């Protein structure tokens, strides 16, 4: 009886992990400020994300497309924000049921942070950027764009 119960628990644990991993947040997400949309996509066995929509795609004073002006690398300051990759190398951790060990780049300040992404439900994700420890950081909640 104990062996049967242990086998059933192991089966359920493996099944839960498989189900959790199949719900991948691939798609387009609106950030919680309403200023950008980010497309999350597979990059190998990890997840990445790029800017695919900006509320204000052009500089107000010149009318030119916005570029990555605050990038710490002067050679990258002329790259367009539209289609800029801002999420890098998030890998799935079944034990935590989230994508982690990635990075998120904030073009508003030119900084890159450690990051994890957690699916709250099929239409909402928590994206947390942090320096050093995940306990100290800032969470943002993105909504799926239909």
What's the pTM? 0.82
Enumerate domains of the chain plus CATH numbers: 25-144 (2.40.128.520)
* Residue (of 139, 94, 142) closest to 113 by Cα position: 139
Instruction: Write out the DSSP string of 55-104.
Output: SS-B-TTT-PBPB-TT-SSGGGTTSBSTT-EEEEEEEEETTTTEEEEEEE
Tens digits of per-residue pLDDT, 27-70? 999 999 999 999 999 999 999 999 999 999 999 999 999 999 99
């Amino acid at each position: 009886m104990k062996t049967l119960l242990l086998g059933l628990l192991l089966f359920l644990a493996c099944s839960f992990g498989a189900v959790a991993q199949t719900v991948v947040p691939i798609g387009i997400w609106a950030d919680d400020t309403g200023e950008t949309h980010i497309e999350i996509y597979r990059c190998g066995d990890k997840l990445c994300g790029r800017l695919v929509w900006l509320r204000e795609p052009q500089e107000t004073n010149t009318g030119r497309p916005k570029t990555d002006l605050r990038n710490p690398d002067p050679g990258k300051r002329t790259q367009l924000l539209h289609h800029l990759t801002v999420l890098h190398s998030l890998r799935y951790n079944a034990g935590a049921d989230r994508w982690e060990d990635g990075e998120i780049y904030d073009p508003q300040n030119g900084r890159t942070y450690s990051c994890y992404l957690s699916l709250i439900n099929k239409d909402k994700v928590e994206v947390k950027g942090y320096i050093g420890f995940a306990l100290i950081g800032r969470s943002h909640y993105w909504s799926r764009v239909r």
